Copies of this chain bind each other. A is one copy, B any other.
Amino acid sequence: MEKMRSDCPISCSLDVFGDKWSLLIIRDIMLREKVSYSEFLQSEEKIATNILVNRLNVLEAEKILIKEVSEKNKSKFVYSLTQKGADLLPIIIEIMDWGAKYNENCPRKELGKKIKADKAGAIEELSKELKKKVRKKAI
């Protein structure tokens, strides 16, 4: 756990995921079906390997992610969201909506359009899907 700057819930949250990379990893798991180290590495933003390892460890320590051995390939790890991690969905959606609204270089794609048309509906639908996949502890 990182050191706490104050007892403000915004400040406490930013102590955990207030950086340029953590929420992109969450996005990959949440919205892009990515589950493994090598898949995160392939994302277009090109995270460095040492940063990725560090962020995965922090997010696991914070109980936002759970790391398990893959059933298909025992030399591989699979990351999934806890309920605490899945509850970051509204934050991710709001950030996506704001980014799409104010950045010409970020065209809305399928999910972006859905959010623009019916934000609450999109969140509810995605939230239900995430709930099915939530991990409470290792299998």
Contact = CB atoms under 8 A, between A and B. Distances in A.
Given A14-B20, A20-B14, A91-B95, A100 B45 contact: no
B12 A99 contact: yes
A10 interface: yes
A121 interface: no
Contact of A9 (B7, B87, B95): B95
B91 A12 contact: no
Copies in the complex: 2
Interface in A41-76: 43-46
Interface string A90-121: 11101111111111011110001000000010
A132 interface: no
A52 to B, nearest CB: 14
- How many residues of A sit at the interface, in one of the four size bands? 35 or more
Contacts of A134: none
Interface in A5-30: 5-15, 18-20, 23-24, 27
A6 B44 contact: yes
A84 interface: yes
Contacts of A126: none
Contacts of A20: 5, 14-15, 18-19
